[in-house]
Structure 1
Amino acid sequence: MVRLLHLSDIHLGSGLSHGRINPATGYNSRFEDFLYCLSQAIERGIAEQVDLAVFGGDAFPNATPEPTHQEEFARQFKRLTDAGIPTVLLVGNHDLHSRGVGGASLNIYSALQVPGFLVGAKLVIHTIATRSGPVQVLTLPWVNRSALVTREEMRGKSIEQVDLALVERMKLALEAQVRRLDPSVPTILLAHLMAENAVYGAERHLAVGRGFSIPLALMARPEFDYVALGHVHRHQVLCEDPPIIYPGSIERVDFGEEKEKKGFILAEVERGRCRYQFVELPARAFKTIQANLADSSDPQADLVEIIRKHKFEGAVVRVHYRLHAHQSERIDTAELRALLERAFAFQLQPELISQLTQPRVPGLGESCALDPLDALGQYLDSRPELAELRSALLQTAEVLIKGERPELDTEECESDQEVLEVTAAAALQLLEREEGPQATSQLGLFGA
């Protein structure tokens, strides 16, 4: 029985926009989050005395990582080899240079022949001696279309036809390797790919180029005792016999992974049998706070109350609130920022509601035959922010429609009346603009 540590999609150096520089270390605080989760996974593997560690690919965000990121990655994985645990590093799509030309960031370990490390850069069988006996690891790194099919060969073919050709070629290449396996030795397929039944996570937005999906039937074979996958950030078990598992990424990259658990797999593999468990890591919490302030008479107070109802200490937070343009001036961002100081990081994301997206006022359809003042009254009822002016607007609108002007006793009264007239006219024009010309043309509203 071989004890196995399976982790993947570290993306060391991702998500730095949510962090800040730690003056004590000089590192971005989000980089330290990723590094902490990686160290916890490796520490658990060493404590469990695993016999073998397999990494499913995507060590960094791209093929040219920063030197400090490379250094910390190497330092953590060296802990495994120092403990006598051989380690297989698979090449993922983020580890490859553009179109697969120019090598991969992980190839440095094979070029230097670092003891204890094997790099899965090709579809090949690695027979590894562990403390609990030999194990076979068949590595299947990320495959680019250009690596299998030339442009000339696929000229005039659709994307679907190209994908079918790629899968067929992969099937033949995989079959050739399977026939070379020793049937008496535990076998692990270590692959970086998109399986047909898998559910995407944030890697859909992070992926470089468009990949193609691999049928589950190519991997669900009795020759494999465990299928260790990488590429998809959401942990999921696609099959039980044999276990075909994405451990998922070790840390949250963005809000798309807000509700996903992050971790790795510990497994016990023997010929014809495998037991496994998912181990959750203390990934940084992400939290979205939603607020619809469209009908609020005091948007600031309501937003503060909504924020206070949530627990967000130490989390990466985004506050998304919807409001009308005239409400935005009542939002005190300084108070909101002070309220969110307990968060690890936060973003305020206001969304102004376009008047063009407002629902139509009931009764003002194409067949509307309302009295003009009734129409205006219904419109004002749908605009709570104009409630205090409703009576005055209706009175002034009536005067405008009749083409009359009331006698004014004082200059002050005349000034107020002029304000009401302008406001009423603007409201009627807004009614026509929002509800369509039919809402006012048939009512003869602009005769004044």
Structure 2
Amino acid sequence: MTDKVSFIHCADLHIDSPFKGLSNIPEQQFKDIRESTFIALDNLVDLAISKRVDFILMVGDLFDQNQQSIKAQSRLTRAFEKLRDNSIDVFISYGNHDHVNGRLFDYDYPNNVYVFESEHVDNFIFKKDDVPLATIYGFSYVEREVLDNKANKFKTVTSTPYQIAMLHGSVSSNTDHDVYAPFQISDLTSKSFDYWALGHIHKRQQLNDEPLIVYPGNIQGRSIKETGEKGCYHVEISETNRQLEFFPLQYIRFEEITIQADHCKDPQELEVLVEKTMKQTSERFGKSIVRLHITSDSVLLEQWYRSSILDEIIDFINELNNREENWVFIQDVRVTYTGQWDKQLIKSGHSFLGELLHSFDTDEIMQNDLQSLFTHRQARKYLDHFTDEEKADIKQKAEDLLIYQLLKE
């Protein structure tokens, strides 16, 4: 009977990510944030050793940028050495963030590390007790963009018991990320592989069961867009069985938290509610960065929000939490009034406000009103173009403010 193969599938480590969007966080907490990708890497190594896996697959974007820091390379090399000392091999492919031609220098890894250096699909044979057990196929991005269908280049060329493919890319219809190395799921299912180890998409998902086609997501969230547990999959494949188990690795967790503040009649009651919620978040998730969504059927919440009283409450609670070991930082606050202002009812009428709200249904309001920001001589040096999610957020806040100002009396 053929031995089973046991491995860790991870991707998108983004080691030494600069976390530019979080630079306004207090210094001590920001140190934790900058260290988070390294600690997630350490957690990955510890998991591999505890599970006594045969090897690890790292499917692209090990580094956050192609000009890797000495610290990032050194910490990764030490991780590989620890794995070598525990007889665990590592198979690496590079992605769009750490493409081969973007390097400033080459780095020597220990002999348990096997790197796909070319954009040509190649393979390595994994041996267990000197017996060929699995063939690992993959390629690396030589330039930042790979726009052709690389899945069509994969084909099995050996007779080892297990055939495993590594592909850093995305389903061609997925518009949530930049589409690189695009493929259709049918491109993968039509091949004779036991497991497709995917990377590039930061949300874990299983696209198919037979064969297994899996995104593990990234191992450490990097913004409020990447909420929840982040980690890797432990995979065991035998002739008769396939097991897939997710393990969280993140050091800091991003979360969206919603609280209902209908009963709060003054700012002090709201402060107590928010502080209690953040304590519960700390106990449940550990170190966390939070987007807080507060709902209320009282117009008082809108008044506190518009008059900056809510900002003062959040600043005070963030200052308190800064002293905690398992700190929670409220990065963003959204307020929703659930009382008598029914947007859809207002828009369905023929009032001035209803007609005004209809103007938010098109993209023109964003294109016209925000264009001046990107043409401003000073502002354009610091602004990146807004994502679709950011545009929707800006529109919603503008719409809410308009309703509040016109109906608050």
Match of 2:211 in 1: 242
> Contact 2:219/2:249 (CA < 8 Å) preserved in 1?
yes
> Contact 2:145/2:180 (CA < 8 Å) preserved in 1?
no
> Contact 1:285/1:315 (CA < 8 Å) preserved in 2?
yes
Q: CA deviation at 1:218?
A: 1.6
Would you say 1:127 and 2:124 are equivalent positions? yes
CA-atom RMSD in angstroms:
4.1
Would you say 1:257 and 2:223 are equivalent positions? no
> Contact 1:15/1:254 (CA < 8 Å) preserved in 2?
no
Q: What code does the residue aligned with 2:139 have?
A: L
Q: Secondary structure of the equivalent of 1:244?
A: strand
CA distance in 1, matches of 2:126, 2:406: 74
Would you say 1:344 and 2:327 are equivalent positions? yes
Q: CA deviation at 1:63?
A: 0.7
Q: Secondary structure of the equivalent of 2:270?
A: helix
> Contact 1:15/1:30 (CA < 8 Å) preserved in 2?
no
User: Which consecutive residues of structure 2, in runs of 5 or more, have no partner in the other structure?
Assistant: 295-300, 353-401
Correspondences of 1:193-212 after superposition (within 5 Å)? 193-195=169-171, 204=177, 210-211=179-180
Q: Secondary structure of the equivalent of 1:28?
A: helix
Match of 1:118 among 114, 117, 125: 114
Q: What code does the residue aligned with 1:191 have?
A: L
CA distance in 1, matches of 2:103, 2:351: 67
Match of 1:427 in 2: none
CA distance in 2, matches of 1:238, 1:32: 32
CA distance in 2, matches of 1:70, 1:12: 9
Q: Secondary structure of the equivalent of 1:54?
A: strand
CA distance in 2, matches of 1:304, 1:50: 47
Q: What code does the residue aligned with 1:281 have?
A: L
Q: Which moved more, 1:304-313 or 1:218-227?
A: 304-313
TM-score, normalising length: structure 1: 0.61
CA distance in 1, matches of 2:64, 2:89: 25
Q: Secondary structure of the equivalent of 2:164?
A: strand
CA distance in 2, matches of 1:9, 1:262: 11
Q: CA deviation at 1:7?
A: 1.5
Correspondences of 1:259-298 after superposition (within 5 Å)? 259=228, 261-270=229-238, 274-281=242-249, 283-290=251-258, 298=266
Aligned length: 328
Q: CA deviation at 1:95?
A: 0.8
> Contact 1:225/1:272 (CA < 8 Å) preserved in 2?
no
CA distance in 2, matches of 1:273, 1:353: 49
Match of 2:302 in 1: 323
Q: CA deviation at 1:45?
A: 1.2
Q: What code does the residue aligned with 2:231 have?
A: G
Correspondences of 1:295-444 after superposition (within 5 Å)? 298-310=266-278, 311-313=280-282, 314-319=287-292, 323-324=302-303, 328=307, 330-331=309-310, 332-333=312-313, 335-341=316-322, 342=324, 344-347=327-330, 349=332, 434=406
Would you say 1:59 and 2:29 are equivalent positions? no
> Contact 2:163/2:193 (CA < 8 Å) preserved in 1?
yes
Q: Secondary structure of the equivalent of 1:182?
A: coil
Match of 2:153 in 1: 173
Match of 2:384 in 1: none
Would you say 1:187 and 2:163 are equivalent positions? yes
C-alpha distance after superposition, 1:75-134 (max 9, x if no partner): 11221123222211111111127xxxx3457x835xx47422221233333232432532
Match of 1:228 among 189, 197, 218: 197
Q: Secondary structure of the equivalent of 1:36?
A: helix
Q: 1:138 to 1:349 in 2, by over 3 A?
A: closer
Match of 2:9 in 1: 6
Q: Secondary structure of the equivalent of 1:75?
A: helix
Q: CA deviation at 1:353?
A: 9.3
Q: What code does the residue aligned with 1:139 have?
A: G
CA distance in 1, matches of 2:48, 2:87: 12
Q: CA deviation at 1:255?
A: 1.5
Match of 1:108 in 2: 106
Q: Which moved more, 1:284-293 or 1:29-38?
A: 284-293
Correspondences of 1:29-44 after superposition (within 5 Å)? 29-44=32-47
> Contact 2:67/2:102 (CA < 8 Å) preserved in 1?
no
> Contact 2:10/2:58 (CA < 8 Å) preserved in 1?
yes
Q: Secondary structure of the equivalent of 1:255?
A: coil
Q: CA deviation at 1:138?
A: 0.9
> Contact 1:262/1:283 (CA < 8 Å) preserved in 2?
no
> Contact 1:221/1:242 (CA < 8 Å) preserved in 2?
no
CA distance in 2, matches of 1:339, 1:289: 18
CA distance in 2, matches of 1:188, 1:56: 12
Q: Secondary structure of the equivalent of 1:245?
A: strand
Q: CA deviation at 1:143?
A: 7.9
Q: Which moved more, 1:224-233 or 1:313-322?
A: 313-322
> Contact 1:56/1:190 (CA < 8 Å) preserved in 2?
yes
Q: What code does the residue aligned with 1:195 have?
A: V
Match of 1:136 in 2: 135
C-alpha distance after superposition, 1:11-32 (max 9, x if no partner): 1122643766669xxx931233
Match of 2:393 in 1: none
Match of 1:374 in 2: none
Match of 2:362 in 1: none
Q: 1:139 to 1:104 in 2, by over 3 A?
A: farther
Identity rate of aligned residues, in percent?
Answer: 22
Q: 1:144 to 1:303 in 2, by over 3 A?
A: same
